Structure 1
Amino acid sequence: MPIIDFLAPHFAFLGDPTAWAALVTLVVMEVVLGIDNLIFISILTNKLPPEHQSRARRLGISAALVMRLVLLATISFIVQLTTPVFTLFDHGFSWRDIILIAGGLFLVWKATTEIHHSMDPAHGDGAQNAASGTLQLTLGAAIFQILLLDLVFSVDSIITAVGMTDEIVIMYIAVIAAVTVMLLAADPLAKFIAANPTIVMLALGFLLMIGMTLIADGMGYHVPKGYIYAAMGFSALVEGLNMLARHRRSGGGH
């Protein structure tokens, strides 16, 4: 009975339709924001030896879940990250801005490096590139990079969530639901990307765009997320049509 009395106030929102609407919205938002993370995780872990790829995805996403839950527990501190700490070019930079800029620069560097490895003739063909990348990346390094980028997305999504609801339990449920979806989708997405080389280049283009968006946001130029995901969706649709056309041509040849 004491446990029920302790939990009851935290779940009082179950009878509030507004709270349910906030929960659904937050879950959808977390899942959509997780697409960025999944693309990065898929490209990164596909460079590991095959026997470590699935394990790295599970460990990276699980560790990211723990980190997000810990960040939610310090939500009062996270909210204070929006307070400007210095001013440059008439723009007040907060710790959130600095984190977003650093994360954006990391994404741009990572995507540019991967594109260079794919396109530079000095590195040989695609198979040799993949082998070279596998030797260069370790399991620990992959998980570290996954956590590094997830920290950037976590801070941004938590600050956004605070503006949508005051119920910490709703935020916890939304994060757990979104990470569960990521765990289920990680392996199929990574296999799909690995099986379609043109998708890899498209995904790297997405990472470049997301990185530049993070940098712009940190500099005070907010780009609505709807524009970003609309561009990604349109590009994915065009590539899907190209894949369908290639498949039909190859089928016709037989």
Structure 2
Amino acid sequence: MEIFAHADTWVALLTLTFLEIILGIDNVIFISISANKLPENQVRKATILGLALAMITRILLLFSVSYLIALKDPFWSANLSWFKTAITGQSIILFFGGIFLLYKSTKEIRQKVENTNQEEVLKSPKIISFKSVIIQIILIDIVFSFDSILTAVGMTNGVEGALTIMVIAVIVSILIMMIFAQPINNFVNRNPTIQMLALSFLILIGFMLIAESAHLSNTIIFNKTVGIIPKGYLYFAIAFSLGVEMLNLRIRKKK
């Protein structure tokens, strides 16, 4: 194809693929936590299926880009003396996605804190239904995919063959995540402190989604506009916390 004869295309493709992998790590963590409630012989199947559904969801959303952009238009507004907002389709998706993350992460943390036996902490209580786990994964795939696709559209705006680049980047990034999903899954579940840190990250991301939802709705509370949380700050905080925990794990292993 002619578009791949240009250096800009390859730069955009590599950058977007890397970005999709970074944005997809939290998705992999959530899928791993949900899948590990199943019997051991079904965990890998649920993980691969969850990532495959994430890839399908993102590709479908890519072909609905014009509709996603139209979701910026407000369909309901409120204007009170201390509160103003204009609700959009994008803000609704991000808000309920954030609420869902907060609920699931808080519930998981409570279950793990209440279990004093280390064996019980390492293994989450089993969910009987494979279907219920897949439904949870589909719901969170939609949230993470929505945010990821909007970022991808912004990055490739004005680039020739943008849709092709985005589809290739999504497919490549999901395939890479499928390869490394099992090692990440095993590592997270061998270390209870990493599990707790991962769940804390998901709570942080949940708050970020809610704040972003309020920002997209142009929400004003007591004459203060709700700003957006820069993703760079968020991922730096996550990387720093993870680095500190890696040092703690190394020290514990030596002892």
TM-score (norm 2): 0.87
Preserved CA contact (<8 Å) 2:53 2:141? no
| Partner amino acid, structure 2, of 1:127 | E
Secondary structure of the residue aligned to 1:87 is: strand
> Matches of 2:124 and 2:59 in 1, distance apart?
36
| Partner amino acid, structure 2, of 1:197 | P
| 14 and 226 in structure 1: CA distance in 2 versus 1, 3 angstrom threshold | same
Secondary structure of the residue aligned to 2:86 is: strand
Gaps of 5+ in 1: 1-10, 250-254
Aligned to 1:252: none
| Partner amino acid, structure 1, of 2:119 | A
Secondary structure of the residue aligned to 1:91 is: strand
Aligned to 2:209: 214
> Matches of 2:128 and 2:176 in 1, distance apart?
26
Provide the aligned length of Structure 1 versus Structure 2: 236
> Matches of 1:246 and 1:183 in 2, distance apart?
30
Aligned to 1:85: 75
Preserved CA contact (<8 Å) 2:72 2:90? yes
| Residue of 183, 202, 205 corresponding to 1:188 | 183
Preserved CA contact (<8 Å) 1:85 1:94? yes
Q: Is the aligned partner of 1:240 residue 2:234?
A: no
Shift in Å at residue 239 of structure 1? Answer: 0.6
Secondary structure of the residue aligned to 2:87 is: strand
> Matches of 2:213 and 2:73 in 1, distance apart?
13
Shift in Å at residue 174 of structure 1? Answer: 0.8
RMSD: 1.6
Secondary structure of the residue aligned to 1:133 is: coil
Aligned to 1:107: 101
> Matches of 1:82 and 1:177 in 2, distance apart?
29
User: Which string of whole-angstrom CA distances, capped at 9 and with x for unpartnered residues, describes residues 211-241 of structure 1?
Assistant: 1111111011311111111111111111100
Preserved CA contact (<8 Å) 2:122 2:191? no
- Which range is displaced more, 86-95 or 108-117? 86-95
> Matches of 1:118 and 1:212 in 2, distance apart?
21
Q: For residues 126-165 of structure 1, what are the structure 2 equivalents within 5 Å?
A: 126-128=118-120, 133-134=125-126, 136-165=127-156
| Residue of 76, 83, 89 corresponding to 1:95 | 89
| Partner amino acid, structure 2, of 1:86 | W
| Residue of 160, 169, 172 corresponding to 2:164 | 169
User: Which string of whole-angstrom CA distances, capped at 9 and with x for unpartnered residues, describes residues 172-193 of structure 1?
Assistant: 0111011111111111111001
Gaps of 5+ in 2: 216-226
Aligned to 2:110: 116
> Matches of 2:50 and 2:128 in 1, distance apart?
14
Shift in Å at residue 93 of structure 1? Answer: 2.2
> Matches of 1:130 and 1:193 in 2, distance apart?
9
> Matches of 1:90 and 1:235 in 2, distance apart?
36
Shift in Å at residue 68 of structure 1? Answer: 1.5
| Partner amino acid, structure 2, of 1:150 | D
Aligned to 2:8: 18
Secondary structure of the residue aligned to 1:82 is: coil
Secondary structure of the residue aligned to 1:93 is: strand
| Residue of 64, 67, 74 corresponding to 2:54 | 64
| 24 and 186 in structure 1: CA distance in 2 versus 1, 3 angstrom threshold | same
Identity of aligned residues (%): 42
Shift in Å at residue 126 of structure 1? Answer: 4.2
| Partner amino acid, structure 1, of 2:155 | M
> Matches of 2:199 and 2:151 in 1, distance apart?
26
TM-score (norm 1): 0.87
Shift in Å at residue 16 of structure 1? Answer: 2.0
